[in-house]
Every structure is written in C-alpha cells, then in structure tokens.
Amino acid sequence: MSWYHPHSVRRRAAAVRVITVTVFGILALAFFRAQVLSTRRYRLQSEQNRLRPVWLPAARGVITDRNGVVLADNVPGYSVAVLASALDSLRSTLHTIAPIANLDSARIEGLLQRFQRTPHEPLVLRQDASFELVAALEEQRVVIPELLIQTEPKRSYPHGEIAAHVVGYVGEISEEELTSGLLPGAHRGMLMGRDGLERQYDVRLRGRDGVRFVEVDALGRTVREAVEATTLKPQRGDTLRTSLDIELQHFIAEVFPRGQRGAVMAMDPRTGEVLALYSSPGFDPNAFVGGMDPDEWHALSHSEDQPLFNRAIGGLYPPASPWKLAVAVSALKRGAAGLDSHMEIPCRGGLLYGNRYFRCWKEHGDLSLREAIQFSCDVYFYQLGLKLTLDNLLRDAVDMGFGERSGIDLPGEQLPLFPRSNKYYDEQYGRGGWTNAVTLNLAIGQGENSQSLSNMVRFYAMLASPTGAAPAPRLVAEESVPLRSLHMSPAALAELQDALVQVVRTGTAAGARIAELEIAGKTGTAQNARGPAHGWFLGFAPADRPAVVVGAIVEFAGHGSDVAPLVTRIIARHLLGPDAPPPGSGELEFMLPSDSAPAPRRLLPDTSPLSRPPA
C-alpha cells in the first residue's frame, strides 16, 4: 500500500496531533507549576530583586620566556565594591567613604551614573586598592555594611620596561566593548589584554572568571550565598611560553644607546622564533595595572618620544642600504648581473642622470657587485636599478614580501609603504609627473619605500637561510608557520652571503667585527628630512650556518652612534654567552655607518609624527 493512501495518512495525521497536544500540554504543566504553584516564591524574589552576581576574576595565564623565566605574573590585590540597592542609599554610602577612598565629586557622579545603567551589579570603586585603604574601610564596615572587599589576582610584570612592548599590558574592559556584544561572557570590570602578547593571546591568557550569587537585603547587606545558584570557581588562563630570551633582552636594553629611540629584533632564521624584541624608550606596564590615572596616561601618550609605541613592528623607516640586497637578489635572479659584474660607469662620487646629479657618499672607483655591496656604493646600484627597470624591481620586491607585514604574532604591525607597481607613481604625481629618477632612489632603498624592522629582519632571515626561505617571526610556537622564499639558486645565494661576510670583515662594518665569530651583515643610513639620519644594521651569524639574525634601527643615530657594533655585540652575547669579547680586538671601536645616500625627492612618512590611538 502506498504511504499516501488517504487512510494511512489520516491515521498518521491523528498521531501527529496527539503528539503535538501532549508535548505542548507538558509545557503548559511546567508553566502551571512555576506560575501557579510556586508563584509566591518567585514573586518574592522578583519584588526584592535580591540576587547579585559577584564576579570572581580568574588569574590570567603566566607568560614566560623560552627558559621558563616569568615575564607576566599575578600577585594578590584587593578590589573594593559596593552592593547598592537604591540610588539614595548609594549616594550616602559614597559620601561616607569618599574621604577614605579619595573619591572626588566627579568620580562619585560617574559611579552613580554607572549604577543607574546596571543597578543589579556590584559597583566597583577600586580595582586595585592598597592594603591601607582596605584596612581603613574594614574599620568602617559596621557603618557601611554594603561594602564588598575581595582579594583578586593582580597582574605584575617583573621585568618592567625591559620587555614592555612585547609583553604588553592589561586594562579594564571599556563601556563600548561591553555594549558591542562582540565579547561572549564579558562583564564589567573584566581585564583585557591591551597590547603585545597580552592582547594577541588574550583569549588563551584570560581564563574564565568565576561567579557567585549572593542575596542581599533591602539595605544592600549581603545575606548569604543564594540557594538556587551555584558558585563557579574561576579557571586560571593558560600559561604562555614564548620564544623570548629575557637575558638577551636585558643585555640589549643595557647596550642600547641610552636616551636614543630605536628598536632591536633578534630572531632564529631557521624556526622564526623571536629571541628578543626591544623598543626604546620603554614604559612601565605595571603602571597600567588597576587603572592608570588620567594625568599619567596623558603624559605617556603625548610624550614626544612615544614610549608606548613599539618601534620594532610599528615604526616605518626608509630601508636604505640594507635594501640594496633586494636589488642584488633581483639582479642575480634575472641574470642582469653576477657578483663579479662591473657597471659601465665607475663611481666618481656620483652619477649624472638627466639633468640631476645623484651623489654617492664616497668615490669608490670601478667595483664589482660584490665590492659594491661590501662598500655600499650608490653609483653602482643606481646603474643596476636602471638596468633592471622599475617594473621588474617593484615586482621582485613585492615577491620578496616588501609589500606585506612580516606576520609576527603581535598586534599593531604596520604595513610597509611600498609601491606595488608604477601605477602608484602615476597616482602620486600624475601621469608623466615623475621621471625614472625614482628608480635611482629606489635602488638604494630611499624614495617611496618605508619598511618596519620586523619585515627587514624577515628579509635578512631569508638571506641567511641556505635555501633562501624563512618562516614568519613567531613569539609563540605554532604548528605551521607560513614560509616566504627568495626563490633563488643556493649557489647564487651562497655568493651573496659571502659578500655580506665581506661587509663585516673589511667593508663598511669592519669596525664591528668579532674575532671569534664570522658575522655577515649590512649597514645603512636612512636619510631623514627631520634631522640626522637613522642608522641601520642587519646581521646574522655564524655566517656558514646562521642561527640568529639581529636587526637594529637607531633613530637620528647620524652623530657618532654605532649601530653595527651594537648588533655584533648582541649576536656575540647570544652565540658565545655572557663572556663574549666586545667587537673590535679589545678596544671598542666606534664606526659610523657612513654610506649615506642623497636626499630623495620626496620622503614618505618617517617615524617622527607617529600617532597611535590610545588603547
């Protein structure tokens, strides 16, 4: 019999009706129980609105360096809150404790407004109360029974300024974030990672806050734990083990020229592990714990030095001479030149192109590509750039990753400013409004090109690798990290690495060499319209099997600062240990990376007017 026979359909229709009525009948019974049988109890609860959720903050996960040294930890702290029942009683309570808790009238008004928005949540007065305040308030407890004092884990950063940018800091959730509805389970007073690792891995570090429900009487006094709701214990966040080496970080902070702005980044080119990431000047992340006072925040965020700003990933600088290697890679790949090729015009201290004279920092004479890298000759690279043509140069550089971020696992990495094709120039200057002179500027790493230190370090990690491929920099290990490759033959790459060894052996960074260690690297001086040039050095070692790449940028280092020895000292400290001899034999020799470049026609944003929205 077909299933659609009217007889069988009728039978099943009846069954469906019975099921529907039965199920809805059960629902009705449940409502009958709640609304008719138990209504007195619920009505009482509803009238008094006695239940209050009290959050039990979870301890955030600990952040450690690669050896388990703690970078961010928790210490006990106190929070002070009021369980208020009505606006008037709250007002009088606040006025009673105002002299003790140091509340001004503006703050009291703010608290009252907050109470009106969320009348049934405890009103937190201080997230980070001192022991003295807690003791003083406890004495008043008889007069102010609605006080709620809890011990809560409080974030602490034992290394303070040294690792402030990379570790980051935490702050209380803002009103906008709360109402945005984007954060599941968010509640007032919750701590959120605001920068660095704290922000990047916030979800893993945060843990889960616990909650207990307390019943309060009409005066706001805590009566007892509520019967119907269970207390949930907070769950601590995950421990985050990073690849940082805090000892190396300390060493970098020690040797970094005092009072100067800049950044240093050290990375293992084989794994992408970031060993150190330092930005100067620093700030004390402990000052953010428990809320920063507005004046202090204003001073920090408006300081000319921009201490909150992580220059290693957020600062964009003209990449200058270190970028000549990108031109060299492009030339080798396209067969436009070999390491022994000479250019038509030898260096006489400059090159006449069109009606403009492009200077070199020195008269180098007739050089091969190897020597041009070693002595950082601009005239050679002007001609090499012209030979490659602008189109090819831009395309190859974009392939090498100069148009993208390095991909480090930190928030706030800046996208490099780099033209993806020559259309950019048309848009910038209008069609025909620019000449091939931009190729000359580009070939020596000036012009419309600004890179972050992290991206340059990644480029040098590729140069350091025997295969020309390097993973994205990582602070926390991840199963698969994207690789970026130069796609060039290992033989050509080896020759290029040898040229970089020559830079430190006898070239522009000879003063920074270290007898025990073969270091390869490249100096650079980035022209800067706002003052002395910025100094670059990117190096890796040991040259035959690179285990570390270190890059440094020191702003306005033009006067006597020594970026190359700074980097080689850091490399030596990492590879040879704390007893490593300083660069140069015995005496520390100061060597200015003096491969200057002519001022470009127009310089894209440098680091001085850096602006960053407050977290």
Partner 1 sequence: MQAHRLDRSLLVTTAVLVVVGMLTLYSAGQTDVPSFVTEIWKRQLLWLVLGIVGAILMFRVSPRILEWATPYAYGIAIALLILTLLVGTGAGTAASAKSWLAVGGVRIGQPVEAAKLATILMLARHLAGKREAPATLVEIVPSLVIVSVPFLLVALQPDLGSAIVFLGILFAMLFWVGVKGWLLLLLASPLISLLLGFNEYPWSAWIVVLTLILLVVRPYVLEGLVVWLTNVAMGVVVLKLWQTLAPYQQNRLLSFLNPELDPRATGWNIIQSKVAIGSGGIFGKGFAEGTQKRLAFLPEQHTDFIFSVIGEELGFIGVLVILALFTALLMVLVRIARGATDTYSSVLVLGVASMVFTHVFVNVGMTVGLMPIVGIPLPFFSYGGSFLVTCFVAVGLALRMAWESRLSGYAAL
Q: Which residues make up the interface to partner 1 (CB under 8 A)?
A: 2-4, 6, 8-10, 12-13, 15-17, 20-21, 23-24, 26-28, 30-32, 34-36, 38-39, 41-43, 45-47, 49, 51, 53, 116-120, 179, 181-185, 208-211, 213, 228-230, 232, 235
**Shortest Cβ distance from residue 221 to partner 1 (Å)?**
20
**Shortest Cβ distance from residue 213 to partner 1 (Å)?**
8
**Shortest Cβ distance from residue 2 to partner 1 (Å)?**
5
Let me know: does 89 contact 123? Beta carbons within 8 Å.
no
SS3 223: strand
Which one, 181 or 560, has the nearer CB to partner 1? 181
Rounded distance between C-alpha atoms, residue 606 and residue 603, angstroms: 8
**Shortest Cβ distance from residue 252 to partner 1 (Å)?**
37
Rounded distance between C-alpha atoms, residue 282 and residue 251, angstroms: 15
**Shortest Cβ distance from residue 214 to partner 1 (Å)?**
13
Rounded distance between C-alpha atoms, residue 604 and residue 445, angstroms: 12
Which one, 209 or 555, has the nearer CB to partner 1? 209
Which one, 210 or 349, has the nearer CB to partner 1? 210
Let me know: does 163 contact 244? Beta carbons within 8 Å.
yes
In this structure, the chain runs to a length of 615
Let me know: does 359 contact 349? Beta carbons within 8 Å.
yes
Which one, 240 or 312, has the nearer CB to partner 1? 240
**Shortest Cβ distance from residue 161 to partner 1 (Å)?**
34
**Shortest Cβ distance from residue 85 to partner 1 (Å)?**
12
Which one, 55 or 323, has the nearer CB to partner 1? 55
Rounded distance between C-alpha atoms, residue 167 and residue 362, angstroms: 43
Which one, 19 or 143, has the nearer CB to partner 1? 19
**Shortest Cβ distance from residue 200 to partner 1 (Å)?**
17
**Shortest Cβ distance from residue 417 to partner 1 (Å)?**
25
Let me know: does 147 contact 100? Beta carbons within 8 Å.
no
Query: 180: which strand partners?
Result: none
Pairing of strands 70-82, 147-156: antiparallel
Which one, 36 or 142, has the nearer CB to partner 1? 36
**Shortest Cβ distance from residue 95 to partner 1 (Å)?**
24
Let me know: does 378 contact 358? Beta carbons within 8 Å.
yes
Rounded distance between C-alpha atoms, residue 214 and residue 226, angstroms: 5
Which one, 12 or 530, has the nearer CB to partner 1? 12
Rounded distance between C-alpha atoms, residue 518 and residue 509, angstroms: 12
Query: In angstroms, how far is CA 113 from the centroid of its own chain?
Result: 35
Question: What's the per-residue H, E or C state across 175-210?
Answer: HHHHHHCCCCCCCCCCEEECCHHHHHCHHHHHCECE
Which one, 199 or 573, has the nearer CB to partner 1? 199
Question: What's the per-residue H, E or C state across 13-74?
Answer: HHHHHHHHHHHHHHHHHHHHHHHHHCHHHHHHHHHHCCEEEEEECCCCCCEECCCCCEEEEE
SS3 content of the chain, % helix, strand, coil (to 5): 35, 20, 45
Which one, 26 or 135, has the nearer CB to partner 1? 26
Rounded distance between C-alpha atoms, residue 145 and residue 569, angstroms: 61
Query: In angstroms, how far is CA 176 from the centroid of its own chain?
Result: 22
**Shortest Cβ distance from residue 481 to partner 1 (Å)?**
21
Rounded distance between C-alpha atoms, residue 526 and residue 498, angstroms: 24
- DSSP E strands, 242-384: 262-267, 274-280, 350-353, 356-359
Query: In angstroms, how far is CA 186 from the centroid of its own chain?
Result: 23
**Shortest Cβ distance from residue 87 to partner 1 (Å)?**
12
Which one, 32 or 590, has the nearer CB to partner 1? 32
Which one, 204 or 487, has the nearer CB to partner 1? 204
SS3 236: coil
